[in-house]
Chains A and B, each alone.
Chain A
Amino acid sequence: MNQLGSIGLIAGFAFALYGSVAGAVGGKLRSLRVTRSAERAVLAFTVMITVAVAALEYLILTDDFHGAYVASHSNRDLPLYYKIPVLWAGQEGSLLFWTWLLSLYSALVVWLNRKKNRQLMPYVVAVLMGTGVFFSLVTLLAANPFSELSLANGAAFRPPDGNGLNPALQYPSMVIHPPMLYLGYVGMVVPYAFAMAALLTRQLGDHWIRATRRWTIVPWMFLGFGICLGGHWAYDVLGWGGYWAWDPVENASLLPWLAGTAFLHSVLVQEKRGMLKVWNIALVMTTFFLSIFGTFLTRSGIVSSVHAFAQSSIGPYFAIFLAIIVFFSLTLLFLRLDALKSENRLDSVISRESGFLFNNWVLMAAVFAVLWGTVFPIISKAVENQTVTVGASFYNKTTVPMGLLLLFLTGAGPLLAWRKTSFQSLKRNFAVPLAAAGVVGITLFFAGIRNLYAWMSLFLSAFVATCVLSEFYRGARTRQKFCRESFIWALYNLTMRNTRRYGGYIVHLGLVLLFVGFSGLAFKSEGKALMQEGDLLRVKNYLLRCESLTSGDTPNYTYLRASLSVLKDGRALGTVEPERRFYKASQQPITHVALRSSLAEDLYTVLAGQDPESGKAVIQVFVNPLVAWVWLGGIVMLLGTLLVLVPSRVDREMDLLQAQPQAAEETQWL
């Protein structure tokens, strides 16, 4: 099976290499036959990488510990639902997984564009397969999951059992978190490929933007959802009471998401007004670059992180690939600058366009700040030969004000009209939301909230929520007046007529919920105590009593469990049972947090360890206000994005127009 996997990888690499060359040649010669062959190579690449993935999964599921990868990331007693994700638990497997997702995306692009975008497709294939060449090559040379264990004398070696899956990864949301993130990272190659193809063919209108609209939103959605899942996992598993720690690997996923968010907004300006063409190309390049850079950070171990992947040899490969991307993209952009002239100028500073532009600047500033904080340790090591890490305070100082500014723009942007907005229109649109936010702000002040950032975040949340809701309300009322529909029906039709706009508003509402959740961070309280049966611990208005400490054994791990009864303001709320597990195969301990979650606050209890002398359990308790709003916000953002993906009437008209057969015939003459 190891050989089968290796053949899959090698053949996959060969098909990718052929596909990228044939794509470029097909595009240059404008030859349909060569292009067809290149497109078929994409499908062949997909089949062969699928063979390799299937071979590795087979090795994992059948506990074949000949292979180094399976032996170090799996074990016999691992339950089936945790064996499947072993594929992406380690470096080698996840690179193969990355390559596989790339192949699936590429095959889908080829299939869905078999009758469209014919001029762009050869170059799209070339870029997709160029990326495929890189990833299959790195997997083959530097991180081959099919390499076999051998003894010093060269004889094959098969350990009786494997080292097991990292226990921190044995968690339900961890099963889907990496695939989601990877679908996000990998997917960003598609809009990049189309942008490059547009540059190469000089088709620099908004055609490529229209063609890639969904291809950008889908990976953006996966990336965002993946980040949320990662936060949820960190909160539930790592046991330090929070969901975001500005860890380099977390930042790595945030960077392309921020750049992608900027891109999603600025394309609207190009579509509506024919402006920001160079900026859009630069943004899509940045997003793709940051995706690869993120994969590099996650996988190379160049910066230390809680994700703690080993130092490895793939760093130089990625550095070269990143350099190629930068050189290729910038050269091409520079050569085509003349064809990327803006069709219109900014009419007024107070307009929707400038709102978008401002949003882009803030987002890119955030990208820069986070990137700086993330790579600073590497730079400081190179320059001064000592690693200086950047703490959370740096990020909080820089990104919190930016985040608040973005939140404000989220509400204010949609209230501005395209081209120009007079003072009168401003007054009309801002009066109600500002009044609502003012009421909330004053109430919060008198309720005793004095933390400036938290107050501003809640104040702006009220402002944005009112803005968004009034958009829906006013829109539905207007429809109701002209179309004689019931309010609910008008609301539905309004949304479905322009799913992008109203879906986008729902995403904005999700963002509001996120910020409400973030504000809760200012009001955290925590307590810690050594406890045994009968001991009491008071945190804020909670009183916890240790009812029992029990230990036990399962095939996969042993555990120590504390049973704590909870009283809140003297009222009994039942018991919570935090656990500390010790996984046998990997010889690693891990905490299992016990949570009582409500919209107002979470009671978060951790069994952090056991005092060796007294045998008492170390119990840590956090009261985290408003955390549930973060998860709720993530779900609302996901739903909003799904709504954006539903084709609206306007989209369908455009698609129909592009699919017109006579358009293809006329081309024979031109």
Chain B
Amino acid sequence: MPVVIALLITASLLVFVAYPLLAGEEASAHLSTLPVDVTPQVDLKNRRLVLYENMRDLEFEYQAGKIAQEDYEALREEYTAHAARLMAASQGLLRTSPEDALIEQEVARRRNRRRQATTDYVCPKCGYENPLPVKFCGECGQKLKSRS
């Protein structure tokens, strides 16, 4: 009897373990990849929090009379400079959030295409620089070579 129970437990645990692998695509589509633990933003914020805590400590120890004036001033200056660097880095990251980066990329791509267009659609007959991708010259009606 105990053996049967043990085998039953083992079998049900097998199902339990295999379940995530066997579950339908739909149910687990949004779970397919592991999320990142620490994004660059969170990491910078963490470091900033640590630094603020260090500064609070410094302030407290100075007030408690543990640190001489000159040490305190030198350290505070260094900490402040470090905090400023971290904040700048954080803001730099914010400006280029992933969505912004995608939009910027798309804009750059299109701008680039337009710039190309102005150089590519020059009429071989009259020399007019057509502004858009066109099949005929806007000035003299000359058929232009189609380009892709």
Contact = CB atoms under 8 A, between A and B. Distances in A.
A588 to B, nearest CB: 34
A357 B13 CA distance: 48
B6 A51 contact: yes
Given A1-B2, A33-B28, A425-B66, A667 B71 contact: no
A125 to B, nearest CB: 12
B65 to A, nearest CB: 7
A415 B34 contact: no
B2 A650 contact: no
B99 to A, nearest CB: 8
A464 to B, nearest CB: 16
Given A32-B32, A207-B38, A664-B35, A474 B65 contact: yes
B8 to A, nearest CB: 11
B103 interface: no
Contact of B3 (A4, A30, A44, A657): A4
Interface stretch (B48-56, B108-116, B120-128, B132-140): B48-56
A660 B34 contact: no
A417 B6 contact: no
B70 interface: yes
B20 interface: yes
Interface in A24-50: 26, 30-37, 40-41, 43-44, 47-48
A558 interface: no
B20 A40 contact: yes
A420 interface: yes
Contacts of B14: 44
Contacts of B60: 475, 478
Contacts, number: 165
Interface string B2-18: 11011101100110111
B37 interface: yes
A565 to B, nearest CB: 55
Nearest to B101: A669
A7 B37 contact: no
B38 to A, nearest CB: 5
B64 A475 contact: yes
Given A4-B2, A37-B18, A48 B13 contact: yes
Contacts of B71: 417, 420-422, 424-425
15 contacts: A7-B7, A11-B10, A30-B33, A32-B32, A48-B9, A119-B35, A119-B36, A205-B38, A207-B46, A271-B50, A425-B71, A477-B64, A668-B35, A669-B98, A670-B98
Interface of B: 2-3, 5-7, 9-10, 13-14, 16-21, 23, 28, 31-43, 45-46, 49-50, 53-54, 57-58, 60-61, 63-68, 70-71, 74-75, 78, 98-99
Given A4-B3, A663-B39, 10 more contacts: A3-B2, A7-B7, A33-B21, A37-B18, A118-B37, A271-B50, A415-B66, A478-B64, A482-B63, A658-B42
